[in-house]
Structure 1
């Protein structure tokens, strides 16, 4: 038998333990069948690991710095008056509303009618206010589901920065103002399109998100109506050109949203949203690829419907082909990187396509349209051979002349 006098526990000192007793500790050792290590382990556990000093972190206190040892702290007060502008922008989903207003402005600018700045501004403002109202009502309905998603858990209603009554009041004020601007400042057709889109988004699309994957197709219709509002605001009617623009916006929604939802599948699954990326991932990729091809075809046919000239079909082709290539990569690889590339390029693709359509606009006013049609008809008549022309003379003067000669 032998005794070893240990003055310091080096194991505990290395791990930051403090407050150990300065008294000596005697370890009884037996060099027999390895019992030495067993005694050390048992004594170390009883003396060091059970010591309360190990569970207390070392805190270096500065001079005159009070330490807050409370287990709870007060929540910061909600200063709504000073942040009302920021909260309203969050309720309206400002970036999404800006995209909606941009497509409406593009529809107005591409319409073959004289450009009026006042009507253009009223149409853009009314469309933006109606979109803000729709987004506010959407957040009001989806508070319990937004709280379960990482992307939406910081919205103002989820965090309690605003009460639900504030969202309803904001939606009522913006929808009333926006529809009034569209009805009295633009025309009734534009106001009717805005009211219909508001009802479609809040009362049909929002609840359908948790019922069927058809919500994506319905949401694409919602996204295709704003350019029709701009077109109707300029011309007062809807024709083939407006449908071409609406078809481009309708098809653009699928690669844009399907690529976005691909990386949000855990969130959508947790909240119970029935998106293609969750319920049928293969369909999600196929639909995205299919609609990039439809966009290319519609752009090539836009000159046939007299929305743009032939140069637009050629200039937009590289842009659309690259869009199809990214959709093909997303279809084949089906990973986060390819979906992220497709989504980011979709944000560039739409403004670039609208700009090209504006540069290559065929008719700048309705009078130009009528004059060009009349000139084309005159050219067609001049091409006819003289023998194939039929001249119609008024009957009255000829009869009168014959009667005078007979007399």
Structure 2
């Protein structure tokens, strides 16, 4: 076996360029004469990629200063220092589950706007802010309890407590501050009943629903109750009481969460199973699909009945029907196919369905104010005064100076 060193050269017929490189290529020529091997190499179309063994440089190449950047080939890296002061706002948003809290605030605002009472901007803002702070506190306590289980799930392994960006004491302090502020705003700025609903929902979510997730599939039904309370808080914040309209809105929110969450949990079954959560999608997949389909039907029925319960007009029942029918169709597809594609379609449409339904209810609400409600409940107030009997008429005096006559008792004369 013999080798030959060949200098790399370039020759271009088009531009008339001829150059010789300083690098040489060491080729293995094998058996045969030198002429035969050179002829074989010259006729090969990819001789450089097939035959070189090593490349040598006749003159050592000098590297310019600053161009030779060393590469880090270590298998470990230093743990970066935690800059909590500059990232505190972002960490607090992650503790509060900002997107979920935004959805809760939106439903409470919808409840306030749908209520048949005068709209007051200050009370509306205090209701929304107070509800959002209570929701942020509940989500923070939830993450505090579920750190070891969140670490086992791909969806939750990047949360701030799991990654050590914040300490558990920070989560408890954040929850204490937000819950105290939120409940204080609801109690003193709105009314005590709204604050009581917020406190009850906070206790239900953190102390009952959170531990039940690892004990029984009934956690889904309990979690739906938790999700149905915020619109009731908005309604009570506006009217100060619970009535049929508030219950209609609460039932819609309660039933909406079953197709929404069951479709979401269907593709997260490996995560829930690994963490030990007792979800319908894991323990009873057939029940998961049936419940999702069943509650889309309940939503359709409640929307059709809302005009008769004096919450909306009849146009709402007609306008919401195509939206609810398509929702039922997607739930039926999920029930029949039970695959990731149908569950993903149902989940994505649920995010559109709820805001669209709330908007339709707002446009077609039955009463625009409490005055309209009282006028409908007492028809005699809307009648013409001239048609009322003489005894029921009220005389209205024209504006002018009012002179009060002072009665004096005549003293007996002696």
- TM-score category, normalised to shorter length: 0.7 to 0.9
Match of 2:242 among 238, 242, 247: 238
Match of 2:92 among 73, 88, 102: 88
Q: Deviations over 1:191-219 (max 9, x none)?
A: 00000000000000000000000000000
- Where in structure 1 do 4 or more consecutive aligned residues deviate above 4 Å? 376-379
- Tell me if the contact between 2:375 and 2:381 (Cα under 8 Å) persists in the aligned partners: no
Query: 1:359 and 1:376 mapped to 2: Cα distance?
Result: 28
For structure 2, the 5+ residue unaligned runs are: 5-25, 32-62, 384-390, 393-414
Query: 1:174 and 1:241 mapped to 2: Cα distance?
Result: 30
Match of 1:283 among 278, 283, 287: 287
**Structure 2 partner of 1:328:** 332
1:314 aligns with 2:325: no
Count of aligned positions: 330
**Structure 2 partner of 1:251:** 255
1:141 aligns with 2:153: no
Structure 1 pair 69–319 and aligned structure 2 pair: CA distance change class (3 A): closer
- Tell me if the contact between 2:114 and 2:365 (Cα under 8 Å) persists in the aligned partners: yes
**Structure 1 partner of 2:175:** 171
RMSD after superposition? 2.2
Structure 1 pair 66–373 and aligned structure 2 pair: CA distance change class (3 A): same
For structure 1, the 5+ residue unaligned runs are: 9-21, 28-60, 380-391, 394-407
**Structure 1 partner of 2:8:** none
Match of 1:209 among 213, 223, 226: 213
**Structure 1 partner of 2:160:** 156
Question: Which residues of 2 match residues 5-404 of structure 1 at below 5 A?
Answer: 5=1, 63-375=67-379
Query: 2:372 and 2:89 mapped to 1: Cα distance?
Result: 44
User: How far off is 1:372 after superposition?
Assistant: 1.8
- Tell me if the contact between 2:108 and 2:234 (Cα under 8 Å) persists in the aligned partners: yes
- Tell me if the contact between 2:137 and 2:178 (Cα under 8 Å) persists in the aligned partners: yes
Q: Deviations over 1:29-81 (max 9, x none)?
A: xxxxxxxxxxxxxxxxxxxxxxxxxxxxxxxx994212334443211111111
- Tell me if the contact between 2:259 and 2:295 (Cα under 8 Å) persists in the aligned partners: yes
Query: 1:134 and 1:268 mapped to 2: Cα distance?
Result: 21
Structure 1 pair 6–208 and aligned structure 2 pair: CA distance change class (3 A): farther
Query: 1:224 and 1:100 mapped to 2: Cα distance?
Result: 9
Query: 2:263 and 2:318 mapped to 1: Cα distance?
Result: 27
**Structure 2 partner of 1:44:** none
Q: Deviations over 1:266-324 (max 9, x none)?
A: 00000000000000000000000000000000001111111100000000000000000
User: How far off is 1:375 after superposition?
Assistant: 2.1
Query: 1:230 and 1:378 mapped to 2: Cα distance?
Result: 30
TM-score when normalising by structure 1: 0.78
**Structure 2 partner of 1:396:** none
User: How far off is 1:378 after superposition?
Assistant: 7.9
Structure 1 pair 73–378 and aligned structure 2 pair: CA distance change class (3 A): closer
- Tell me if the contact between 2:375 and 2:382 (Cα under 8 Å) persists in the aligned partners: no
Which of the pair is proportionally richer in helix? 1
Which of the pair is proportionally richer in strand? 2
Query: 1:113 and 1:310 mapped to 2: Cα distance?
Result: 20
- Tell me if the contact between 2:262 and 2:289 (Cα under 8 Å) persists in the aligned partners: yes
Three-state SS of the structure 2 residue aligned to 1:217 is helix
Three-state SS of the structure 1 residue aligned to 2:241 is coil
User: How far off is 1:7 after superposition?
Assistant: 5.5
TM-score when normalising by structure 2: 0.77
**Structure 1 partner of 2:49:** none
